[in-house]
Amino acid sequence: MRLQPNHPTDDLKGIAASMLDGLLYGSGDAVIGINPASDSLPLLEQLNYMLDDVIHRFEIPTQSCVLTDVTNTLKLIERGTPVDLVFQSIAGTEATNASFGFNLATLEEAHQAALSLQRGTLGNDVMYFETGQGSCLSANAHHGVDQQTCEARPYAVARRFSPLLVNTVVGFIGPEYLYDGKQRLEDHFCGKLLGVPLGCDVCYTNHAEADQDDMDTLRTLLATAGLTYLMGIPGADDIMLNYQSTSFHDALYVRELLGLKHAPEFGELLARMKILDTQGRLCDASRQHPLLQHQPYLEGRV
């Protein structure tokens, strides 16, 4: 699961509350990733330091990512900011990527910059990419090519940079681009075919012809098909991006239904901190739980 503790004003206390909520539900073994509301470099730097502090304070075997664009992340690395993963949304044509403000040379520069930090503990996979059908069409840069072909092309780009994570945001754009929920399974198939660690933000916008029942069905189908990871958002409702996704509870349902485990090191942490019991079931967390003690961010002291 990607733990996604977004906040509409990037408030550290609000982000900390969502992050701790997710950890207490066993979410975050893929990444703890924040979509920032701001492009302010000092704020982005502060978010990176906050994530780094929490991860190291509790020795959480995961990685963090502030999902700003690659040019901002390059500036952060130059400032010595603790960056685990470099993020960038990518698309299937050069013109669309140019509209996003980068090219392949920019990705290579960022890849090398992230490697130079030597922050990895297992391997050197330091990139995180996001895709989604419709971006080429909305940029009027699809050159008459169908959406699915445009969507498969960035998976090959991602593979070139040995990403730790790739995910498709299949429902974020809305009904202007996706005909129905079944179309959303195509991305998973293409990602598997091209050999990238594809996850999925099983989501919809409120003007789409979709509801939570559709998301439950799609999430179950994708997990059965071997999806790499899902999103974890408090109550499945992202209060910053204003869309519906998957909750921490949804992940517990999928794990129990299909017998899916956490990443091993993360699972050991959950057992050690008594978040999960010996059967892998969620424990009740009291106010005295270690994760809730001495939290300067949650207490508003930072």
The answer to whether residue 188 is domain-embedded is yes
**Mean pLDDT of the 219-223 span:** 93
Whose CA is closest to 66, among 54, 82, 78? Answer: 82
Mean pLDDT of the chain: 90
As a whole number of angstroms, the distance between CA 261 and CA 84 comes to 24
Q: Is the pLDDT of residue 114 over 90?
A: yes
Q: Is there a domain that residue 301 lies in?
A: no
The span from the CA of 302 to the CA of 297, in Å, is: 6
Q: What is the pLDDT of residue 169?
A: 87
174 has pLDDT over 70:
no
The residue written with tokens 């754009």 in the block is 173
pLDDT band for position 105 (50/70/90)? very high
Indicate whether 287 pLDDT > 80: no
Neighbours of 217 (CB within 10 A): 13
Packed helices 185-193 and 147-160: angle between N→C axes, nearest 10 degrees: 40
Supply the pLDDT for residue 69.
95
Across 57-85, average pLDDT: 96
pLDDT of residue 36: 97
181 pLDDT band (50/70/90 cuts)?
low
pTM: 0.93
- pLDDT band (50, 70, 90) for residue 214: confident
Predicted pLDDT at 172: 60
The total domain count for the chain is: 1
Give the residue among 30, 26, 61, 58 at the shortest CA–CA distance from 280: 26
240: its two tokens: 């910053």
Evaluate whether residue 211 is within a structural domain.
Answer: yes
Specify the range with the lowest mean pLDDT, choosing from 23-32, 149-158, 212-221. Answer: 212-221
Tokens at 254, concatenated: 């999928």
In a domain, 232, yes or no: yes
Bridging pattern class, strands 237-238 and 243-244: antiparallel
In a domain, 300, yes or no: no
What pLDDT does 134 receive?
A: 84
Residue 274 inside a domain? The answer is: yes
Q: pLDDT, tens digit, for every residue of 21-69? A: 999 999 999 999 999 999 999 999 999 999 999 999 999 999 999 999 9
Is the residue at 204 inside a domain? yes
Q: Tell me the C-alpha distance between 127 and 88, whole Å.
A: 8
pLDDT, position 222: 93
Residue 119: which CATH number? 3.20.20.70
Backbone angles phi, psi at 104, to 5 degrees: -65, -30
Task: Flag whether 298 is in a domain.
Answer: no
CB 128 within 8 A of CB 33: yes
Q: Residue 14 belongs to what domain range?
A: 2-292
pLDDT for res 205: 74
Looking at residue 177, its pLDDT comes to: 64
pLDDT for 282 = 87
User: Cβ contacts of residue 36 below 8 Å, gap of 6+?
Assistant: 10, 43, 44, 47, 66, 67, 68
